Structures are given as structure tokens and as C-alpha cells.
Chain A
């Protein structure tokens, strides 16, 4: 997964003519030299910005409450809308550098909290907040020129949809929402290159959408963890598992059949083995979704996705075993049997690896 080649190595190996070579290297030199470009910034700088904006917003909110500026519901809605718009407008000013990114994000977060609270108290319910939330998230996603604001809106959009679903009798729609996120995550990452080319005039869209969808999927699945933690009236979690499994199958088909051209028998055998292994966890869709993200991370050589997948897999596996209605003895036997099964798979794969190496020689 480690990329060791330099830009020069890749350009040299690409059999480019002199004009193309010069065009690509010249373009990259000019882009890389642009100080403060958001693409050049490591992801944890954005995390710091989000954290700073979040705490800053809460403190500003406290000051507004103390100053009695938010006495009425209408003033909360007005202030909230103004702050959201200010956040969007400020995001246009920081295209070249990061100076106002944190401030615009603070305004946006603060505005959303105020607008949500204002509408919630005025209309007396969660449903109107979610409807307005969808409009706000779409506005921010389409208009804001900031990776972080778009990223947060991608995560909050399904959360608002979930709020609407939960305030209706159609609880089971949650599975299709999770399934849609799973399918969208796989599709957006497997079409990374064509989408990048198609969105070349709008570079702010792809990265926050792709990462936001994956994180949104993994976070929303926390609902499936344990009925004792969340009072969830949803029981057919196997629907979400099935859709996630279909996404995983599609991902494996794209990478193994289309890219590596393995035979159909080998492919279906692989899918069958995975299905058998995962079948006991059908009521825990988080496990299948995390596994899909791990495979996605490996297939795209993306360490961030891979780490996210591992982290959430650990959470969902632990919660799955914790919530099993069995004694510790039975649980231990299940765990040891699973361990032995994985060790058996490892031995089988080691044999395949040996044969493959011999075949290559």
C-alpha cells in the first residue's frame, strides 16, 4: 500500500513524448509551488480546524445566550441563517489560503446549531428541523468553497434523512439509506479517476464527498450496535447487511475480474467463502460495511480508508460479541472457533501464494 515512486519515476516510466512530459511536470511544479493550497494540506490540519471551529462556535453561542441576544425563537432563526450565509461567503475568501477557513467553519457550525434550535423550539418537533437541515446541507454542499464545510454537510445530510425516517412509521427505510450510502461509497471510489476528470472545474467536490460518504456510512451504522444502547425499533438489519454485501461483491468483481482478470469460478468461490464467513453476522451490518471499507482502502491503496475500516471493524466486532446472548464460555468457544477458521484460511492462502509464485517462475 506504500507508494514509493517519485513523480519523476512515474513520468519517466510513462513513455511520454517530450511535449507531454514537459506539460505534466510544468503543471505539477506550478501547482505544488502554490503555498497554502488546500490540496497540499495534510488531513489533520483540517481536523484541527474542525475542532477549533466547533469549540469556538460553542463559546460564541454561550456569549450570545449570556448577552440575551437569543431570547426569542425568531432571533435564533435569524442569527442562524445569517451565520450560515456568512460562513458560505467567507469560504470564497479563503480559496488561496487557510486564514479564514476556521472562521467560516465556526460561523457555519454556530449558524446550524442556532437555526436547528430555533426551528425545533418554534415548530415543536424534530421533523421540521430535519427538513430544514436537508435544505441547509444541500445549500452548503453546493455553494461553500471549503472542503471541511462540504465534508460535514455530506455527513449531516444522511443524518437529517434518518431523522425524518425515525419520525415516520417507516423505520425499515433506514436499511435502504444505509444501503444507498454503502453503494455510493463503493461507486464513488471505484470511479475515482473518471469522476476526478469530470469534476476538474470543481475540485472542491470529490474529496469531501468521497470521504464524507464513507465516514457517514460507518457512523450511521453505530445505530445497529446494541439495542440496549439505542432504543431502535428496527429489527431486520440483514437488509442493510445484504445491500452492503452486494456492494462488496461489486467491488471485488471490479478489482478481481475486471482489473486482474481472474476466472469466474475463482471469483464466485471467493464471494461464496466470504458470504459463509459473514453469514452469522447478518444482524450486524457494521461488520460487513467495515470490511467493505477495508477492501476499498486496500484496492485504492488509500491508508486513510484502510485505517478507518480497521477501527470500525474492531468496534463492530467487539459490540457484536458483547451483545451475543450467550455465556462467556459459549462466547469463548465461538471466538476460538472463528480464530481457528481464520488461521485455516491463512494456511490455505499461504498455499495459494506458494503455487502462484511457482506459476510466475
Chain B
């Protein structure tokens, strides 16, 4: 028995491959399909519907509250406004305190607490016209929910926290430094996302079940390579007027190399490698455009070949990595 048969998951791809067998019948294939766990049972249906309703309920409720305060109802006294948001924070917080923190609905109520905290800050700013910048709101929001994020240990909450830090950083660059694509702001973004990614993958490789799901590291990986690619491309276009852009370009290539090496050798995840390849193509193409000073007619013809050539190379490399990992 080959390792491939023992280790490879019985995915939908296997069903499609088995269907190509001359002797395969629909009954046998349906049997494999059911045994592999593709058909959800009644318990899974109820559980799915329940979680789906809970998630929708929470999202609608939070959006409703945000719309309510966005309306800025003048007849409603400021204390009433603050009391409503305060109660909305307290109710799920008390519910979470009195329940088992490992349950999905308790984690969702912690998410509600975190979201309503932002709402409270916005209402506070609306009532007292503090004159604070938008980055203040997001930064304070991130700081205030830090404890909740650590206690709840819920991935969407971690995601919200990282997003808030990213937004605060970008807004700080734009509103305080008056430079939306500042290389040092991008380097800070890169550092935040790279550290978060490193921590996640470090524990992930130690077989900690909490770090099994891949959506968060994939988003972080995309953020890491994209932030440096944007800053690097800006540097190429602006002739590296700011020396920070050279650092961004270097960090971009370091991040590509790091991601390609890690996800092809240590942990199998092709999606981050694929994004890195797309960023490399964008970077190389911008470099060529710059060399041609953006005005050579031949760039269309040469550029077409380069893009197609690099795409083919990327696809071949990705398939090679995929096959090497599966072998």
C-alpha cells in the first residue's frame, strides 16, 4: 500500500478520479461518497442551521445598532444613547461570564462585546465632538478589546483585532504623517502581520489543534506580501525618492522567498505561494515598464510575452510543489 493512499484525504478530487474507472457504477461511487463523509447527517444539518442563524442574528443585530446610532436621533438624550450601547456591551459580557467559554455562542457574544465597544467609542465621539482623528478611534478600539481577544481565543476576534491595528496604522500615515503610501507605515504593517503570521505558523507546526484552520494565516500571508509589493512598486515608479522604499523592495523579496520556502518545505499551503508568485509577476512587470520608461510601443508585445511566460512558470512551479508534497 503506497503512502499516497494512506495519507491522502478522500477529497472530491478522488471521487472524480474514481468516476473515470471503466467498471465504476453510480451505486459504488455513492457508497464511497457517503462513507467519506460528504453527506451531512441530521445532526450536522441542525447544527449548521443553528450556527448559521446565530451568526446572521448577531450580524444583523450589530448592523442594526450601528445604523441606529448613525441616524443620530436628536430626540434621544445623550445619556440614553450611551446607556443603550453600554447595555449592549454588558448583556453579552455577563452572558459570556456565566457560560462555558469554549462554546460557539459564547465566543460569538464576546465578538458582539468587541463590536459594540467600537460602537460606544463612535457614539462618544458623536456626542462630545472630541475632534479626534479616525485613527484614534480604531487604535483605542483595538487597545480596549485586547483583553477580550486574549480571553475569548476566537479567530474572528483575533482577525478583527489585527484589522483594527492595520486600519489605525494606515489612517495614522494618512491623517498624521499626511502620506498615504509612506514606506515606514507599510513596513510597520508588514511587521505586525508578519509577526502574527509567524506566531500562528510556529504553533501550527507544533500540532496545536487551535492552529489547524488555514483561513487566518492565508489572509495574513496575503497582507504580508501585498503590503510590501504595493510599497515596492511605488518605490519603482517614484525612482526610490524615499530610501524607505528600497527597504520595502528588499523586504518584499525576503517575504516572497520566506513564504515560498516555508510553505513548500515546512508546511503545505499553496495559496500563499500562489499570491507571492502573482506579486512577483506584478513587481517584475513594473520593473520592465520602468526600464522602458513607460513609453516604448514594444512594451505591449514584450509585456504580453513576459506576463504569459511568468504565468506559465508560476503554474508549473506550483504544480511541481503540489506534486512533490503529495508524493
Contact = CB atoms under 8 A, between A and B. Distances in A.
A8 B5 contact: yes
Contacts of A342: 53-54, 56-57, 60
Interface stretch (A175-183, A241-249, A278-286, A349-357): A349-357
B39 interface: yes
Contact of A346 (B19, B35, B50): B50
A100 B15 CA distance: 27
B271 interface: yes
A145 to B, nearest CB: 15
A193 B26 contact: yes
27 contacts: A3-B37, A5-B9, A6-B8, A7-B4, A10-B32, A23-B21, A36-B323, A40-B319, A45-B315, A48-B277, A48-B311, A49-B315, A57-B304, A63-B297, A102-B315, A200-B20, A207-B16, A260-B42, A262-B42, A301-B39, A329-B67, A329-B68, A339-B56, A342-B57, A349-B49, A353-B46, A356-B46
Interface residues of B, number: 93
A146 interface: no
Nearest to B312: A102
A168 interface: no
B65 interface: yes
A345 B46 CA distance: 11
A51 B311 contact: yes
B54 A346 contact: yes
Nearest to B63: A335
A28 B4 CA distance: 9
Interface of A: 1, 3-11, 13-14, 23-25, 27-29, 31-33, 35-36, 39-42, 44-45, 47-49, 51-53, 55-63, 66-67, 97-103, 106, 193-194, 196-197, 199-200, 203, 206-207, 255-256, 259-260, 262, 294, 298-302, 321, 327-329, 331-346, 349-350, 352-353, 356-357, 360
Contacts of B140: none
Interface string B126-164: 000000000000000000000000000000000000000
A103 B311 CA distance: 9
A55 B67 contact: no
B46 A59 contact: no
Q: Is the interface of A mostly helix, strand, loop or mixed?
A: helix
B16 A196 contact: yes
B61 interface: yes
B68 A336 contact: yes
A3 B53 CA distance: 23
A40 B326 contact: yes
Given A25-B5, A346-B57, 18 more contacts: A5-B37, A10-B32, A14-B32, A23-B23, A25-B1, A29-B4, A35-B319, A53-B311, A56-B308, A196-B29, A197-B29, A259-B39, A329-B71, A332-B71, A342-B56, A344-B57, A346-B105, A353-B43
Nearest to A196: B19
Contacts of B326: 32, 40
The 8 closest A-B pairs by CB, nearest first: A52-B311, A339-B61, A342-B57, A335-B64, A339-B60, A336-B64, A332-B67, A62-B300
Contacts of A100: 312
Contacts of A329: 67-68, 71, 73
A48 B318 contact: yes
Interface in B15-58: 15-26, 29-33, 35-43, 45-50, 52-54, 56-58
B270 A328 contact: no
Contacts of B13: 39-40
A339 B60 CA distance: 5
Contacts of A35: 319, 323
Q: Is the interface of B mostly helix, strand, loop or mixed?
A: helix
A42 B322 contact: yes
Interface string B288-315: 0000000001111101110110111011
A146 B278 CA distance: 22
Nearest to A350: B50
Given A40-B322, A346-B53, A99 B312 contact: yes
B46 A63 contact: no
B316 interface: yes
A106 B301 CA distance: 13
B67 A29 contact: no
Given A106-B308, A302-B12, A60 B301 contact: yes
A129 to B, nearest CB: 24
B300 A59 contact: yes
Contacts of A262: 42
Contacts of A42: 270-271, 318, 322
B59 interface: yes
Nearest to B37: A3
A4 B64 contact: no
A85 to B, nearest CB: 18
B58 A343 contact: yes
B300 A66 contact: yes
B18 A28 contact: yes
A200 B271 contact: no
A124 B36 CA distance: 55
B274 interface: yes
B7 to A, nearest CB: 6
B14 A52 contact: no
Contacts of B5: 6-8, 11, 25, 28-29
A47 B270 CA distance: 13
Contacts of A299: 39-40
A166 B59 CA distance: 37
B256 to A, nearest CB: 15
B42 A6 contact: no
Interface string B268-282: 001100100110010
